[in-house]
Copies of this chain bind each other. A is one copy, B any other.
Amino acid sequence: MAWLRTAFQDELDGVTTSLVELSVLVNEAMQKATHALLTANLSEAEEVISSDDRVDAMAHDLDNRIIEIIARQQPVASDLRALVTALRMSSDLERMGDMAHHVAKITRLRHPAAAIPSELLLTIEEMGKCVRVVAEKCTLVITERDLDKALEMERDDDEVDRLHRKLFATLLDESWPHGTETAIDMTLLGRYYERYADHAVSIARRVYFLVTGKYSDDSE
């Protein structure tokens, strides 16, 4: 029955391919959302907002495919764990897409004004770059099960947290001149970037555990 095992392996590979596609898509969405945010570009923001349905539909289709594979192949042990983990990764990726969507909606809400005051342009730009690095490594972790990259992502996430604290420090500076509305926007934006990175790290931890049977940190 070697052909059966091979057909199953092909199906698992197909699941990985779909996860990678989703991962690339949400990374593109967040990069575009960040660019739209920094440049007050409404049409880019609209693109991100409308593309989120595609991410959701892809995640939904993938989930159904995974459940169908479990039902038909009745995998046990590590194959079953891999498929259940893929379901969770799909859910993380879908939420990452939601975060890009939320960022884009703040750009749209404030347009034609810029959502980001000049004092915070650099911090938000850095956060955007930092989550880009995290998301690109996440794609590699999914594709190649690169465990070094998975561990690096823990440290990259610390950098996201550092920028998040820097954002709050700017808001809390006595001389903050932009009022409550902008403070609310910045608080929500900070949270969206932080959650986006958290979901990417969560994916890396799932892969790490799947491959090694160990946790890459102490928090799980």
Contact = CB atoms under 8 A, between A and B. Distances in A.
Interface of A: 60, 67, 70-71, 74-77, 80-81, 84, 87-88, 91, 168, 171-172, 176, 180-181, 183-184, 187-188, 191, 220
Chief secondary structure at chain A's binding surface = helix
Copies of this chain, count: 2
A180 B168 CA distance: 10
A171 B184 contact: yes
Given A67-B81, A87-B84, A87-B87, A180 B181 contact: no
Given A67-B81, A88-B91, A91-B88, A180 B191 contact: no
A191 B220 CA distance: 24
Contacts of A91: 88, 91
